[in-house]
């Protein structure tokens, strides 16, 4: 069965300030996202996880390899097929304060994807906007307000609503919780789980937080220095990690209730 | 890393040469298009010139050729080291320029140094407590300096200090009379230039300092137990200097044009006056070289600014693309 | 022995109370964790301990006593003498907390120049030793902050903070901006140094799990108020306040699968 989204031997290099002169953001990365699952891409800063997500969305060109949407090579999509791809795979970003145009009302920001794809008339769009807001726990009346009137958690809900409004099959979430308070994070995670079930979505969830990944993912792929170090079902990764880096990563996470650290000791 | 700096300087020197070339053509064109024929001036000065003499003079000065061929001829001789002779002074241009250049350098140099010495400490002090009485007083002083046109200020100073109080002479360099006279003659022109320049620098220093003081690392330094002075002079100022240095270097061009005006007001024999007189007197060669020199000075100041900036900011010096 | 006593501290920004009637005490050598989300006031408390509040802040009431010294009333000179020498502070964004145009060696040497009139050569020598102690090779002392990684910058800050062996270290979200593997190293280092120097610590974080591995006692803050405090085991094992429970749930959620509410 063809995966919904797949990376095949993706490599991307930047000219950077490493001693050798180039930074390898993606190093022969192959990965697949199956329909209906939540795959968490876990890694620290510089691991390449955001670059991989952008490559899979066709937002960043790669030096070699292919990103596939179903059977099609994303790089070859044009016109209608490209638009169809964009409708099918949406994205939610990390910073709720930067992802909404501060000069547009929430309703206009939400209606924008519909306008771009030529869906519905004014009335239809208004209806869809109201429905989208309600599905993320806000009210239809919020459409008239400006983004700055909302808290970080609420803005992230709006961003999720915007991702949903085109009725996508899959959503890429790039560190959607990192900028939020811990109690809010839990609410958003619950919302995301709900929406996934109701609308039969597929999630590609990028995070540096192993705890979050464990809470929401079916499968986890661990990235380090541009490579997929290990991938597998969530519980297997946590209970029986195979790679050294994975073990190191898991061991580094502070555990609630484990008591005070011993320190390095002398 | 060293060779990057050399490459940088080399490319900038090349750019400077290209700009000079373009400038030389533009200036030549402008001067050539000006009304007033030097030959006519000669005729009015010496009515006994015959039409033959006129024709001969025209040929000698090449004035019977079209503009562009005259330019090329000039360029040719200039590149081989012959910058021509000044008509007004009847001597080679380089010889004539020397003393004027020195005078202007003295005027600009002293004003420049003075304005830095005054503006930076005042700017730091003003930034210490924005909105305080001291700050507002300093700000007012800065605005006054910026707003007063140089020519007006010069005239005012002459009226007060030369005419009413007879403290300082209104013109000349006083060179003949020794050190003390030279300084007295410089006083008013320097004060004129300095007041304006100080105002500009003061504003930039103050805002750069305020901006720097707002950054997080300042709080961390205070947390180490540093006094306010330590924080401002050892940490804030070095960081604030980065943008200020750029401004200082860029204002050099403005300093030069200010000097031009000041020299004229005070009849101070510097480059400014020389350029003015040569333009008015249709002395092509002198005016051209004078203006080109002004261009060189400005470009050199810009290059110095870039190099200084790179030297001061380790992030640029050691190569950081962040 | 009580080293630090905060009594009914209230800090206001305009009409908003950022910190309201906050009280706690800290003994020598012990660690207090201050936990809260954004807007809880925990960073304001930290700043108040060193009297480094922004100019817009007003301390309405309360006292902060450090080893008998009234922080609010002490003259500025005395406070400058305390800062960096007896009370030190490290911050969240190591990029933003170091002077970008000064070498790390000079920045670690600075406390020696500020307190106790060491010569420059002496101070730099000490700085080299400190850098090694925190895991940065001494030959990197001539590097500038931008040439170091986030973890190394944080270590630099720690080196400068412990230079004069302070009695109290205030750590304001020291690992929040760091990767989790780097965080582990920094936290281990802090505990190590604490044992070696015998200093007390106020450890501020929004991460309950991190605090639970660092602190003896914990105070949970919400909207400027301490809602619950006590020994770490007690507060986290048998929370009284619903907000503490909410934080615990949120922390725990992240180690088990989430079921959708329907």
- B52 to chain A, any CB pair closer than 8 A? The answer is no
The mean per-residue pLDDT over the stretch B35-44 comes to: 69
| Confidence (pLDDT) at C254 | 54
Q: Which residue has the higher pLDDT, C69 or B31?
A: C69
Checking if the pLDDT of B143 tops 60, the result is: yes
- Measure CB to CB from residue C144 to each of B227, B242, B314 and give the nearest one: B314
Minimum distance, in Å, between the CA of residue B317 and any CA atom of chain A: 14
| Confidence (pLDDT) at C262 | 32
- A209 to chain C, any CB pair closer than 8 A? The answer is yes
Please, what is the Cα angle at B211 between B210 and B213, to 5 degrees? 65
- B322 to chain A, any CB pair closer than 8 A? The answer is yes
Q: Quick check: helix, strand or coil at residue A212?
A: helix
Contact yes or no for C55/B213 (Cβ under 8 A): no
**Distances in whole angstroms, Cα of residue A219 to Cα of each of A29, A33, A199, B11, C213:** 16, 9, 19, 55, 28
| Subunits close to B (at least 3 CB pairs below 8 A) | A, C
Checking if the pLDDT of B1 tops 60, the result is: no
The mean per-residue pLDDT over the stretch B172-185 comes to: 68
Contacts of A17 in chain B (CB under 8 A): 319-322
Cβ distance C260 to A190 less than 8 Å, yes or no, reads yes
Cβ distance C213 to A189 less than 8 Å, yes or no, reads no
| Confidence (pLDDT) at C97 | 87
Cβ distance C80 to B226 less than 8 Å, yes or no, reads yes
Q: What band does B176 get if pLDDT is binned at 50, 70 and 90?
A: low
Tens of pLDDT, residue by residue over A211-235, are 899 999 999 999 999 999 999 999 9
Residue C41 falls inside a structural domain: yes
Contacts of C262 in chain A (CB under 8 A): 194, 197-198
Q: Which residue has the higher pLDDT, B194 or A262?
A: B194
Contacts of C192 in chain A (CB under 8 A): 263-266
Checking if the pLDDT of C238 tops 60, the result is: yes
- C40 to chain A, any CB pair closer than 8 A? The answer is no
Model ipTM?
0.90
- B128 to chain C, any CB pair closer than 8 A? The answer is no
Taking a contact as any Cβ pair under 8 Å apart, which residues of chain A between 137 and 196 contact chain C?
152, 181-186, 189-190, 193-194, 196
Contact residues of A toward B, CB < 8 A: 16-17
| Confidence (pLDDT) at A266 | 31
| Confidence (pLDDT) at B109 | 87
**Angle, to 10 degrees, between the axis of helix B93-128 and the axis of helix B179-213?**
40
Checking if the pLDDT of A103 tops 70, the result is: yes
Query: CATH no. for residue C75?
Result: 3.40.50.300
Lowest mean per-residue pLDDT among B163-177, B209-223, C127-141, C247-261: C247-261
Cβ distance A16 to B322 less than 8 Å, yes or no, reads no
| Confidence (pLDDT) at B321 | 44
B313 CA to centre of own chain: 25
Q: Average pLDDT, whole number, for chain B?
A: 82
Tens of pLDDT, residue by residue over C64-120, are 999 989 998 999 999 999 999 999 999 987 778 899 999 999 999 999 999 978 999
Which pair of tokens denotes residue A152?
């970080």
Minimum distance, in Å, between the CA of residue C71 and any CA atom of chain B: 14
Residue C99 falls inside a structural domain: no
Size of interface B-C (CB pairs under 8 A): 74
Which H, E and C letters describe chain B, residue by residue?
Answer: CHHHHHHHHHHHHHHHHHHHHHHHHHHHHHHHHCCCCHHHHHHHHCCCCCHHHHHHHHHHCCCCCCHHHHHHHHHHHHHCCCCCEECCCCEEHHHHHHHHHHHHHHHHHHHHHHHHHHHHHHHHHHHHCCCCHHHHHHHHHHHHHHHCCHHHHHHHHHHHHHHHCCCCCCCCCCHHHCHHHHHHHHHHHHHHHHHHHHHHHHHHHHHHHHHHHCCHHHHHHHCCCCCHHHHHHHHHHHHHHHHHHHHHHHHHHHHHHHHHHHHHHCCCCCHHHHHHHHHHCCCHHHHHHHHHHHHHHHHHHHHHHHHHHHHHCHHHHCCCCC
- A123 to chain C, any CB pair closer than 8 A? The answer is no
Please, what is the Cα angle at B167 between B163 and B170, to 5 degrees? 55
Q: What band does A145 get if pLDDT is binned at 50, 70 and 90?
A: very high
Minimum distance, in Å, between the CA of residue B316 and any CA atom of chain C: 10
Size of interface A-C (CB pairs under 8 A): 129
- Measure CB to CB from residue C89 to each of B223, B235, B242 and give the nearest one: B223
Tens of pLDDT, residue by residue over C190-200, are 999 999 999 99
Checking if the pLDDT of A75 tops 70, the result is: yes
Tally of structural domains, chain C: 1
Q: For residues A17 and C228, what is the distance between their CA atoms, to the nearest angstrom?
A: 48
Fold of the CATH domain A5-100+168-252: Rossmann fold (3.40.50)
Q: Average pLDDT, whole number, for chain C?
A: 91
- A21 to chain C, any CB pair closer than 8 A? The answer is no
Any idea where the domains of chain B sit in the sequence? Answer: 2-93, 94-317
Q: Average pLDDT, whole number, for chain A?
A: 90
Chain B nearest-CA residue for C114? B226
Neighbouring C-alpha atoms within 13 Å toward the C-beta of A18: 11
* Domain B94-317 indexed as CATH 1.10.10.60: no
| Confidence (pLDDT) at C256 | 47
């Amino acid at each position: 069965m063809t995966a919904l989204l797949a990376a095949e031997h993706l490599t991307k290099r930047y000219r950077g300030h490493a001693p050798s002169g180039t930074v390898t953001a993606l190093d022969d990365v192959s990965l697949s996202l199956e329909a209906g699952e939540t795959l968490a891409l876990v890694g620290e800063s510089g691991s390449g996880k955001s670059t991989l997500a952008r490559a899979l969305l066709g937002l960043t060109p790669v030096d070699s390899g292919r990103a596939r949407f179903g059977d099609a090579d994303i790089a070859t999509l044009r016109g209608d097929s490209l638009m169809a791809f964009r409708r099918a795979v949406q994205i939610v970003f990390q910073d709720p304060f930067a992802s909404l145009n501060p000069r547009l009302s929430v309703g206009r920001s939400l209606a924008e994807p519909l306008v771009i794809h030529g869906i519905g008339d004014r009335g239809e769009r208004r209806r869809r906007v109201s429905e989208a807001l309600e599905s993320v726990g806000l009210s239809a009346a919020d459409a008239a307000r400006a983004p700055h009137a909302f808290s970080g958690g609420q803005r992230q809900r709006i961003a999720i609503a915007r991702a949903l409004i085109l009725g996508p099959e899959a959503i890429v979430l790039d560190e959607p919780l990192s900028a939020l308070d811990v109690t809010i994070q839990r609410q958003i995670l619950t919302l995301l789980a709900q929406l996934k079930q109701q609308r039969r979505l597929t999630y590609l969830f990028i995070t540096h937080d192993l705890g979050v990944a464990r809470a929401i993912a079916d499968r986890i792929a661990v990235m380090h220095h541009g490579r997929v170090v290990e991938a597998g079902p969530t519980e297997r990764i946590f209970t029986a990690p195979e790679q050294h880096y994975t073990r190191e990563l898991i061991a580094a996470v502070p555990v609630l209730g484990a008591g005070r650290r011993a320190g390095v000791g002398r | 890393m060293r060779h990057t700096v050399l490459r940088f300087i080399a490319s900038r020197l090349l750019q400077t040469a290209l700009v000079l070339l373009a400038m030389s053509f533009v200036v030549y064109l402008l001067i050539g298009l000006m009304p007033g024929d030097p030959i006519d001036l000669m005729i009015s000065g010496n009515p006994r010139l015959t039409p033959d003499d006129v024709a001969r003079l025209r040929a000698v000065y090449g004035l019977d050729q079209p503009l562009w061929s005259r330019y090329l001829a000039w360029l040719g001789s200039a590149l081989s080291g012959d910058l021509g002779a000044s008509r007004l002074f009847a001597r080679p241009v380089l010889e004539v320029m020397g003393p004027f250049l020195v005078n202007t350098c003295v005027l600009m140099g002293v004003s420049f140094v003075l304005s830095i010495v005054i503006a930076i400490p005042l700017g730091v002090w003003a930034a210490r407590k924005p909105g305080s009485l001291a700050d507002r007083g300093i700000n007012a002083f800065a605005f006054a300096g910026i707003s007063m046109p140089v020519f007006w200020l010069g005239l005012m100073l002459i009226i007060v200090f030369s005419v009413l109080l007879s403290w300082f002479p209104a013109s000349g360099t006083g060179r003949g009379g020794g050190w003390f006279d030279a300084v007295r003659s410089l006083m008013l022109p320097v004060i004129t230039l300095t007041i304006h320049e100080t105002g500009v620098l003061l504003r930039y220093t103050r805002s750069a300092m305020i901006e720097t003081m707002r950054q997080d690392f300042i709080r961390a330094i205070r947390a180490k137990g540093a006094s306010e002075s330590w924080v401002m002079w050892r940490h804030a100022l070095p960081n604030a200097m980065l943008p200020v240095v750029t401004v200082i270097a860029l204002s050099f061009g403005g300093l030069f044009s200010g000097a031009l005006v000041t020299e004229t007001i005070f009849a101070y024999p510097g480059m400014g006056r020389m350029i003015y007189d040569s333009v008015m007197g249709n002395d092509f060669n002198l005016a051209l070289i004078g203006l080109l020199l002004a261009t060189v000075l400005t470009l050199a100041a810009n290059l110095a600014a870039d190099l200084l900036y790179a030297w001061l900011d380790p992030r640029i010096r050691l190569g950081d693309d962040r | 022995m009580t080293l630090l006593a905060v009594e009914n501290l209230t800090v206001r920004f305009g009409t908003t109370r950022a910190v309201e009637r906050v009280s706690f005490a800290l003994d020598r050598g012990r660690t207090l964790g201050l936990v809260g989300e954004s807007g809880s006031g925990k960073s304001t408390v930290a700043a108040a301990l060193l009297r480094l509040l922004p100019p817009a802040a007003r301390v309405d009431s309360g006292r902060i006593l450090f080893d008998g010294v009234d922080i609010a009333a002490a003259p500025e000179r005395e406070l400058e003498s305390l800062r960096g020498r007896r009370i030190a502070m490290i911050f969240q964004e190591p990029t933003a907390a170091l002077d970008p145009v000064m070498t790390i060696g000079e920045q670690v040497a600075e406390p020696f120049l500020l307190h106790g009139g060491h010569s420059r050569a002496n101070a730099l020598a000490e700085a080299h030793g400190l850098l090694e102690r925190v895991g940065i090779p001494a030959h990197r002392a001539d590097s500038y902050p931008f040439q170091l990684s986030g973890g190394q910058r944080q270590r630099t800050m720690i080196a400068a903070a412990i230079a004069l062996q302070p009695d109290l270290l205030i750590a304001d979200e020291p690992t929040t901006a760091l990767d989790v593997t780097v965080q582990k190293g920094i936290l281990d280092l802090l505990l190590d140094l604490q044992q070696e120097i015998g200093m007390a610590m106020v450890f501020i974080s929004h991460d309950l799990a991190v605090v639970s591995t660092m602190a003896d006692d914990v105070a949970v803050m919400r909207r400027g108020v301490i809602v619950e405090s006590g020994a770490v085991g007690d507060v986290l094992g048998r929370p009284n306040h619903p907000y503490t429970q909410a934080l615990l749930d949120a922390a725990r959620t992240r180690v088990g699968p989430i079921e959708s509410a329907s």
